[in-house]
Structure 1
Amino acid sequence: MKMSKTFSVIAVCSTLALTACAVDPVTGQRDRNNTVIGALGGAATCGIVGALTHGSKGARNSALACGAVGAGVGAYMDYQERQLRQSLANTQVQVDRVGDEIRLVMPESITFATGSAALNSSSTTTLASVADVLAKYTDTTIQVVGHTDSTGSDAINEPLSRNRAAAVANFLSNRGVASNRITATGMGSRQPIASNTTTEGKAQNRRVEIKVNPIKQ
């Protein structure tokens, strides 16, 4: 039975290796699927292939055990992204993915009162969910960046953005995320993502971003 199962896994892996290219529906060209290739590369040394017969939980546990190098960086970040999206599904936190970077965008409305760097009580539940995931995936760095709108002077906005980033970073650290993985930075109003000429735009600019990146080997 074990021998049969082993051959089944090998057959699945061979199929995945052969189909690791996806056809772009627009160009018709075949592109490599980095997630599949990354996961297969790590499979040889740390057993992530076993996850193929154990579902998503097995894949996640294998990624945790193997780390970014063993599991493949793309696959490692994929599993982490999936968990973050699930944990934050019913919140206002925006989850973006650019390459291997996972970016969480937290609007001021769910984190801080206007002009304050003290976390709202309602935000702690959301941040606890974030921390629980980040604490498990240790092969990443975490950059917390505070942003404000253009209302007021730099003398007010710069320290406010720094203090907000520090408040989020301290919460994550106190919740079990190693502090040596975290940096906190304040950008003031220098990096808007919307127009500061409208109320809606200013609301979008008042935010804290958590950027999660794999550790460079």
Structure 2
Amino acid sequence: MKPRIIALAATASLFGLVACTDQYGNPTMSRTQQGAIAGAAVGAIAGATRDEDKNNQGQDAVKGALVGAAAGAVAGNILDRQAAALEQSISNPNVQIINHGSYLQVIMPEGILFATDSAAVSGPAQNDLYAVARNLNQYPNSRVEVIGHTDSTGAAAYNQDLSQRRAQSVAGILSAAGVNSGRLVAVGRGESQPVASNDTAAGRATNRRVEILIRPTQ
């Protein structure tokens, strides 16, 4: 099978993921199904390009697609289950849990975590972080990035330092709750990655947040 044909087949599979949305752009397939299709596309390319004898690339592409589909489906199913478990265990409705298909994103607004200009996590928020820790221990095959963000009020250097301290505070609670510290990375982004306009109070409140990114390692 020619590389161009393989590439076209893989591209068609990936476009199939995009096509499986409703009129509002929301996915109509589960992450398990999406993972299977994406895994099949990647597996087909890998199977064809790693062929050593160059005589049966078609068969190798098919085998690669099957293996990739199975692996993708398993990874997608695990993330589906982990996201559902997180949603059930976290009590604060302002915490967002987003399943991106290849990783989970937990967004915790500053207002539920910290007092103004403080890096000390509030008592109620600690309960939710312990729930996150229990979930991480239940699903141990992942790398966890804790990322602090601020708005643009004040000096950039101060905001960078505050975001770093806040990320470390959250990571410290996860570690104290039993998450292996080797899985945890704490990073401050300061005001550099806003998700809303800093020109309004509501936008600034949205930008002040800590994100926990859960990335499967296998």
TM (norm. structure 2) is 0.68
AA of the residue aligned to 1:108: E
Aligned length: 164
In structure 2, the partner of 1:132 is: 134
Which region of structure 1 is more displaced relative to structure 2, 89-98 or 188-197?
89-98
Matched, 1:92 2:94: yes
Q: How does 1:166-177 map to 2 (within 5 A)?
A: 166-177=168-179
In structure 2, the partner of 1:198 is: 200
In structure 1, the partner of 2:214 is: 212
Work out which of the residue numbers 148, 151, 161 in structure 2 matches 1:149. 151
In structure 2, the partner of 1:49 is: none
Instruction: Give the conservation status (yes or no) of the 8 Å contact 2:146–2:213.
Output: yes
CA distance in 1, matches of 2:194, 2:138: 32
CA distance in 1, matches of 2:116, 2:22: 46
Structure 2 CA distance for partners of 1:149 and 1:80, relative to 1, 3 Å: same
Please state how far the C-alpha of 1:146 moved relative to its aligned partner. Answer: 0.1
Instruction: Give the conservation status (yes or no) of the 8 Å contact 1:91–1:126.
Output: no
CA distance in 1, matches of 2:93, 2:199: 27
In structure 2, the partner of 1:46 is: none
Matched, 1:101 2:108: no
Which region of structure 1 is more displaced relative to structure 2, 124-133 or 90-99?
90-99
Work out which of the residue numbers 147, 160, 163 in structure 2 matches 1:161. 163
Structure 2 CA distance for partners of 1:38 and 1:205, relative to 1, 3 Å: closer
AA of the residue aligned to 1:214: P
CA distance in 2, matches of 1:198, 1:206: 13
Instruction: Give the conservation status (yes or no) of the 8 Å contact 2:148–2:166.
Output: yes
In structure 2, the partner of 1:82 is: 84
TM (norm. structure 1) is 0.68
Q: How does 1:1-12 map to 2 (within 5 A)?
A: none
Q: Which segments of 5 or more consecutive residues in structure 1 lack a partner in the other structure?
A: 1-20, 40-68
Please state how far the C-alpha of 1:204 moved relative to its aligned partner. Answer: 0.4
Q: How does 1:42-121 map to 2 (within 5 A)?
A: 72-88=74-90, 90-121=92-123
In structure 1, the partner of 2:32 is: 35
In structure 2, the partner of 1:57 is: none
In structure 2, the partner of 1:59 is: none
Please state how far the C-alpha of 1:77 moved relative to its aligned partner. Answer: 1.1
Instruction: Give the conservation status (yes or no) of the 8 Å contact 2:148–2:211.
Output: yes
AA of the residue aligned to 2:122: N
Structure 2 CA distance for partners of 1:71 and 1:175, relative to 1, 3 Å: farther
Q: CA RMSD in A?
A: 2.7
CA distance in 1, matches of 2:80, 2:210: 22
Q: Which segments of 5 or more consecutive residues in structure 2 lack a partner in the other structure?
A: 1-16, 37-70
